Amino acid sequence: MDMTGKTVLITGASSGIGEAAARAFGEAGASVALLARRNDEIARIAGDIGPDRALAIPCDVSRYWEVEAAVDATLGNFGSLDVVINNAGVIEPISHLAHADPQAWSQAIDVNLKGVFHGMRAAMPAMIRQGGGTILTVSSGAAHGPVEAWSAYCASKAGAAMLTRCADKEGREAGIRAMGLSPGTVATQMQREIKASGINPVSQLEWTDHIPPEWPARALLWMCGPEAGDFVGEEISLRDPNIRQRIGLA
């Protein structure tokens, strides 16, 4: 898919799905703004993509003013903002409700839920002014069912899934294409943290049970094209073999 002339902003771009997505969109010709707290990592990835088409922006998505500044920097550098990928997320605290650390629980909400709101809030005005844009949010099966010791993750992902539906309801007529992607379990650092916890069935999975991050990256790229038009306002699951076939994944 050709993304030449398009600008894509990706949160949580320093590793995992975010890094894979940045590289996939870069290979497709897009200009890419990489947001993450780890400046060294996003600078390295931006260098690989090319300094003329990649911008590394240190950003904590839990702070709205930092996300707003990142959007302004992206617009100032590339002149437009066509795609936002809300990918930044944390799994910790993995803890039963009765013993959860309130501060850590709140921080997960700040990143996983408020971070998605911040991305939408900062980007939508510019997208509406230019006639439209695509907002993709990395969701999870945990958004739709409880998982032991994942109360913060489940609650935040459920809220983020509803934000996608709200963005669609309010923005579709203005040209906003809002969708969610539920990738299933992916071979990233998050799965190492889950494995180390030893809690719930997900932690018992083997590394080979997880899909590579390049798969959701390819799915996100596909979702920017016309073939994904049927799913605007909805959530796509990579567990669905029909979806995988449409995207061209093995």
Would you call 153 a catalytic residue per the annotation?
Answer: yes
Q: Which of the residues 153, 182, 202, 223 is marked catalytic?
A: 153
How distant, in Å, are the alpha carbons of 53, 106, 197 from that of 38? 19, 21, 24
Q: Tell me, what amino acid is at 87?
A: N
Cβ neighbours of residue 184 closer than 8 Å, sequence gap 6 or more: 141, 210, 211, 237, 238, 239
The C-alpha R_g of the chain, in whole angstroms, comes to: 17
Contact 84, 120 (CB under 8 A): yes
**CA–CA dist 46, 51 (Å, integer):** 6
How distant, in Å, are the alpha carbons of 76, 118, 191 from that of 60? 20, 10, 22
> What is the enclosing helix (H) or strand (E) of 170?
helix 151-171
Q: Tell me, what amino acid is at 144?
A: H
Catalytic site positions: 153
